[in-house]
């Protein structure tokens, strides 16, 4: 009897594609993906907490081919061990891979490859995202007057990146605006057509920034306006990155050895008596 019941459960809960599974999901469900390619012709709309799990050891074994965009409004989520990529079907394609709006998600051991589109890879609007060991790869050089970012954050979004790689975007690797917050640790920002990181409108960049690597970003490593701040927790007092800013750079660039709010994932903005770095 037990074996028969288990067989029925398998028949009910196994699906061949996302079109079959999405109408059945409930808040807190987990979608487990076997090795292979999955085609998402219309993208996905996710507005509940959801887990999507592929192969955490090798995300290239589980590939989601996107024609549309994944729009995430779920207040919690987990994505692990998947490759999200876009085939080039049109020279005018400007689709995102992810659009987060008032959502929250952890993304680990995954790849986002948007070389088939001229659009930004991931857009965060008033959202909270944490990433570990994630690669975001853009379409490369800007050949049509279209500027796309690896990650574009606005409206108070919060992002933590650990051991991530943001490469080959036709504008800056990461753009922050309108009171957004970025914490990075041991990341690589490489071969982006503008800056590695670009900040405007009262944003904060913190973390072990000097432990990250900025390579061949055409306009420089970091750009910020006078309303933004950088708080570096790395062990060295010497910055290993260049910052382009207005004349008030020194007042916005701090170094602090101890990270008091690490348990809160860097989402507290007020430093305790930071030590200013001399120019």
In a domain? residue 218: yes
Distance CA 50, CA 84 (A): 17
Question: Which one, of 53, 52, 49, lies nearest residue 74 by Cα?
Answer: 49
In a domain? residue 16: no
In a domain? residue 33: yes
Structural domain span for residue 152: 28-276
pTM over 0.85: no
In a domain? residue 73: yes
In a domain? residue 8: no
Tell me which H or E stretch contains 2. Answer: helix 2-13
Domain count, the chain: 1
- CATH number, domain with residue 122: 2.160.20
- Provide the Cα torsion 168, 170, 172, 174; round to 10°: -70
Distance CA 275, CA 279 (A): 13
In a domain? residue 12: no
- Two tokens, residue 23: 């109408």
In a domain? residue 187: yes
72 DSSP β-pair partners: 46, 100
pLDDT per residue as tens, the chain (279 positions): 333 333 333 456 788 888 888 889 999 999 999 999 999 888 899 999 999 999 989 999 999 999 889 999 999 999 999 999 987 765 566 789 999 999 999 999 999 999 888 889 999 999 999 999 999 999 876 666 678 999 999 999 999 999 999 999 999 999 999 999 999 999 999 999 999 999 999 999 999 898 899 999 999 999 999 899 999 888 765 556 778 766 555 445 555 443 343 333 344 433 333 333 333
């Amino acid at each position: 009897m037990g074996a028969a019941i288990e067989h029925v459960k398998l028949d009910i809960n196994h699906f061949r594609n996302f079109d079959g599974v999405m109408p059945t999901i409930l808040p807190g469900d987990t979608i487990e993906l076997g090795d292979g390619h999955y085609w998402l012709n219309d993208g996905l709309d996710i507005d509940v907490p959801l887990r999507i799990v592929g192969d955490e050891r090798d995300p290239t074994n589980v590939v989601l081919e996107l024609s549309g965009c994944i729009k995430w409004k779920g207040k919690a989520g987990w994505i692990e061990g998947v490759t999200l990529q876009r085939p080039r079907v049109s020279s005018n394609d400007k689709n995102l891979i992810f659009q987060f709006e008032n959502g929250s998600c952890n993304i680990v051991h995954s790849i986002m490859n948007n070389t088939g589109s001229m659009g930004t890879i991931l857009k965060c609007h008033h959202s909270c995202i944490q990433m570990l060991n994630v690669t975001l790869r853009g379409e490369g050089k800007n050949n049509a007057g279209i500027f796309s970012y690896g990650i574009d954050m606005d409206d108070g979004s919060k992002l933590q990146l650990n051991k991530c790689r943001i490469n080959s975007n036709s504008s800056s690797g990461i753009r922050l605006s309108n009171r957004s917050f970025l914490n990075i640790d041991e990341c690589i920002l490489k071969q982006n057509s503008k800056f590695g990181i670009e900040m405007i409108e009262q944003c904060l960049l913190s973390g072990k920034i000097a432990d990250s690597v900025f390579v061949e970003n055409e306009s420089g490593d970091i750009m910020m306006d006078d309303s933004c701040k950088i708080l570096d927790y790395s062990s060295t007092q010497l910055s290993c990155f260049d910052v382009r800013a207005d004349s008030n750079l020194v007042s916005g660039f701090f170094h602090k050895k101890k990270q008091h709010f690490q348990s809160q994932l860097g989402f507290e903005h007020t430093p305790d008596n930071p030590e200013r770095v001399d120019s």
